Amino acid sequence: MDAWNGPHDERWDAAQAALAESGITDGLPVVPPTRERVDTMLRMSGVDASQPLATLPPAYAEVTWRDAAINAVMAGCVPQYLPAVGAAVTAMAATEFNLLGISTTTGSATVCVIVNGPIAREIGMNSGANAFGPGNRANATIGRAVRLTLQNVGGARAGEIDMATLGQPAKYTFAFAENEAESPWPPLHVERGFDRAAGVVTVAGISGTIEVVDSESRTAEDLAQTFAQSMLIAGNVGGAGLLGGGESLIVMPPEHADAFARAGCSKAQTKALIYERALLAIDRLAPCLRERAVASGAARDGYLRVARKPDDVMIVVAGGVGRKAAYVPTWSGTTKAVSRAVF
């Protein structure tokens, strides 16, 4: 590898220093949001710059398309990505998402953005190999734009309002598309009431990712047991007496989804198989957590669960070759996933 042969621009270095000093970056270099770049993004996206998108906690500030465009430019988005960013901003402002809690907790909660429908293909999002990882501009910059908007307009600045004890790398960016082409089941947005041809963004408040590896199981029941046991995290007991926030997210590669489908399992049946096995006996908990679980009423039979009912478990098919899935615990505070159509 050699140094880039393009022109050296010392003004870039000065711009980065000034933007970092202003407090509007995420610690990484950004694209300077010049008036020309922002206006070009708005014009090419065909949106009204002054139109309000949402009111974002924790500052309860109004977000316009211009605000979203400024942060999308900084994140490195191209204009075609802005509608997805806008839909995510609108979704995370919904009351049931509880952005106030997610953005101010000392926990590691952050926003996960899942994109469905033709728009994911049109803008080149990655739904296959390394869908959570680097290498795809749309995935990387859409998630980053959402986070920068939350910070710069919503007021969730690290160490000031965002008081996460540790945080997590996904607080820089976490966005991916569902691998609808290789899924044997209806995609997430169809489950949630949208037309298959619609472009839809779903946001979930998540607390991290845990790899689930099973290349050996040959029955749906055995594979469900692996997923279920991977979800039993005592340190993620929420105030409602559940393991996590009650809407556990499983991101399943096509090979795992096909294994369930070949066994005759619909997505709903797969959820039920996993749910009925995802039980943590309360005697495994520290005494203080055990008392809280009993007091919540969620452990009347002596077990904690990952959700109140099987259908609350979310399954999204994504990824490439291999039987490596991810359990994505939802924040143990009160939050619900929210979906919005792309404008």
Q: What is the pLDDT of residue 288?
A: 84
Please name which of 184, 191, 121, 112 lies closest in space to residue 150, comparing C-alpha atoms. 112
Going by C-beta distance under 8 Å and a sequence separation of 6 or more, which residues neighbour residue 339?
91, 188, 189, 192, 194, 200, 201, 202, 203
343 residues of the chain, pLDDT tens digit each: 999 999 999 999 999 999 999 999 999 999 999 999 999 999 999 999 999 999 999 999 999 999 999 999 999 999 999 999 999 999 999 999 999 999 999 999 999 999 999 999 999 999 999 999 999 999 999 999 999 999 999 999 999 999 999 999 999 999 999 999 999 999 999 999 999 999 999 999 999 999 999 999 999 999 999 999 999 998 888 877 788 998 999 999 999 999 999 999 999 999 999 999 999 999 998 988 888 777 877 777 889 999 999 999 999 999 999 999 999 999 999 899 999 999 8
Cα–Cα dist 173/169, whole Å:
8
Q: What is the pLDDT of residue 289?
A: 82
Instruction: Say whether 151 sits in a helix, a strand or coil.
Output: helix
Please identify which residue in the block is written with the tokens 């105030």: 239
Sheet holding 338-341, edge to edge: 175-177, 110-116, 200-206, 338-341
Q: What is the pLDDT of residue 242?
A: 87
pTM: 0.97
E strand map for 184-261: 200-206, 210-213, 249-252
Cα–Cα dist 8/159, whole Å:
35
Q: What is the pLDDT of residue 199?
A: 98
Q: What is the pLDDT of residue 17?
A: 97
Q: What is the pLDDT of residue 238?
A: 81
Q: What is the pLDDT of residue 298?
A: 72
Per DSSP bridges, beta strands 249-252 and 314-317 are parallel
Going by C-beta distance under 8 Å and a sequence separation of 6 or more, which residues neighbour residue 231?
243, 244, 248, 274, 278, 306, 327, 329
* Largest interatomic CA distance in the chain: 68
Residue 54 near residue 343 (C-beta atoms within 8 A)? no
